[in-house]
Amino acid sequence: MNLPPKGGVLPAADLTGLIDEGRIVHTTGGITPDHIDRAVQIQPASIDLRLGHVAYRLQSSFLPQQHLVQDRMQDLIMYKVDLNEGGILEREAVYLIPLVESLRLPSNIKGKTNPKSSTGRLDIFTRVITDCSNRFEDIAPGYAGHLYLEVVPRSFTVKVRTGMRLNQLRLFYVDTEPIQGQELRERYLNDQMLYTDDGEVFDSELAARFDGVLMGVDLTAPNGEGAPIGYRARKNSQVIDLDRVGAYDADDFWDPIMPPKSGRLILEPEEFYIFASKERIRVPLSCAAEMVEFDAGSGELRTHYAGFFDPGFGYGRAGEIKGTKAVLEVRPHDVPFAIEDGQVLFKMKYERMVAEPSIWYGAEIGSNYHNQTLRLAKQFTSGPERT
């Protein structure tokens, strides 16, 4: 595949081309394009990465710096967990799992990884490590080597298997920059990127800032019905098998949070919360988006784990959808932190696609959260989705 020197996120067709060229390869059982499950793994602007055969329980996290991951990890290994028939990963323990896929990227292509949505909603902290790197999640231009996934279950002990997909990889041209400034403002208005719950376009001069679209948290009950506005994870619960979709009663794992009478909610340090965004967001097919921190000085809390939004999220094929709620995965640090309805907690950065993908996020490709409001991970039932 001839890759022209221009900025942007690679769509599904270009990812397929890289697989055909042997740039994204299956590293166990042979290196052929046929070992990539394209129908399952390839998303509109990303490819899902699969767990390998073994998880290494480590003493601590690390970065390899100028070393190979395989060499650097040796003196940190406590024991191995076989994942072929399913392995248990204990809460608050650090594991490193070699991934099935490896890379041989062209010199003008770089990458970034994010947890998948269900991974983040289960409070499973994950990040990819590459050889000779001093950063998590970022894949250097022209990287050739293996991929490793650090996995730390924070709230629940989980069962995982070889082939499970906890993370996803996006690829960019090296000169890709976020859409910002006047271009962002024009796209924000023309593509109607934010909607209200009433189906009205949300237009605010404050929403589209220099390098992103600001969004807030929703602490109001839908239609005054008294439904939960969020959930807090319980730490003492049974093992969650990630393959069992809809198998667990949410009441056994989550405490519902009702609308605060004062309009203010105090979050406790190191507790894990699920909330919905105040606004409904749209990602047109010409863009991909990433949820990032609004401002490190705006509060001592993390507001996301799974921050990537494929083209078509809340938009559809031709703009027929009037936005979809974003789900916030929130963990305060150090001190209790008070939030109010509509308070800005995060920012969406938009990036240009190299070309519009032939597939888009939604029911057509079996996307799990395409019509979400407040939604727990797909493994739970009776965790009411707000409609």
Q: Which two three-digit tokens encode residue 371?
A: 């019509």
The model's pLDDT over 147-167, given as tens digits with 9 standing for 90+, comes to 999 999 999 999 999 999 999
* pTM for this predicted structure: 0.91
When divided into structural domains, the chain yields a total of: 2
> Looking at the domain assignment, is residue 5 inside a domain?
no
> Looking at the domain assignment, is residue 7 inside a domain?
no
3-state secondary structure of 8: coil
> Looking at the domain assignment, is residue 387 inside a domain?
no
Given 140, 173, 206, the domain boundary residue is 173
What pLDDT does residue 167 have?
Answer: 95
Nearest to 143 by CA among 172, 178, 114: 172
Q: Are 362 and 233 part of one and the same domain? A: yes
Q: Are 296 and 368 part of one and the same domain? A: yes
Q: Are 185 and 137 part of one and the same domain? A: no
Q: Are 212 and 240 part of one and the same domain? A: yes
> Looking at the domain assignment, is residue 212 inside a domain?
yes
The model's pLDDT over 231-283, given as tens digits with 9 standing for 90+, comes to 999 988 899 999 999 999 999 999 999 999 888 999 999 999 999 999 999 99
Q: Are 143 and 190 part of one and the same domain? A: no
Q: Are 17 and 84 part of one and the same domain? A: yes
Q: Which two three-digit tokens encode residue 278?
A: 């105040």
**Up-side HSE of residue 371: CA atoms within 13 Å toward CB?**
6
What pLDDT does residue 106 have?
Answer: 95
Question: Which residues face 338 on adjacent strands?
Answer: 266
Q: Which two three-digit tokens encode residue 27?
A: 């590293």
Q: Are 93 and 130 part of one and the same domain? A: yes
Q: Does residue 356 have a pLDDT over 60?
A: yes
Nearest to 268 by CA among 252, 257, 253: 257
What pLDDT does residue 233 have?
Answer: 96
What pLDDT does residue 38 have?
Answer: 75
3-state secondary structure of 365: helix
Q: Are 285 and 309 part of one and the same domain? A: yes
Q: Are 255 and 338 part of one and the same domain? A: yes
**Cβ pair 183, 213 in contact under 8 A:** no
Question: How far lies 288's CA from each of 275, 352, 364, in Å?
Answer: 22, 7, 18
> Looking at the domain assignment, is residue 288 inside a domain?
yes
Q: How far is CA 67 from the centre of its chain?
A: 28
- Quote the domain boundaries for residue 268: 181-381
3-state secondary structure of 216: strand
What pLDDT does residue 12 have?
Answer: 94
Residue, of 384 and 167, whose pLDDT is higher: 167
**Cβ pair 323, 44 in contact under 8 A:** no
What pLDDT does residue 253 have?
Answer: 96
> Looking at the domain assignment, is residue 102 inside a domain?
yes
Q: Are 259 and 217 part of one and the same domain? A: yes
Nearest to 134 by CA among 62, 60, 61, 63: 63
Residue 227: pLDDT band by 50, 70, 90 thresholds?
Answer: confident
3-state secondary structure of 18: helix
Give the domain CATH number at 220. 2.70.40.10
* End-to-end CA separation in angstroms for the chain: 44
Average pLDDT estimate for 293-317: 73
Q: Are 289 and 196 part of one and the same domain? A: yes
The model's pLDDT over 313-324, given as tens digits with 9 standing for 90+, comes to 999 888 899 999
> Looking at the domain assignment, is residue 62 inside a domain?
yes
> Looking at the domain assignment, is residue 2 inside a domain?
no
The model's pLDDT over 45-92, given as tens digits with 9 standing for 90+, comes to 999 999 999 999 999 999 999 999 999 999 999 999 999 999 999 999
Q: Are 155 and 18 part of one and the same domain? A: yes
Residue, of 253 and 367, whose pLDDT is higher: 253
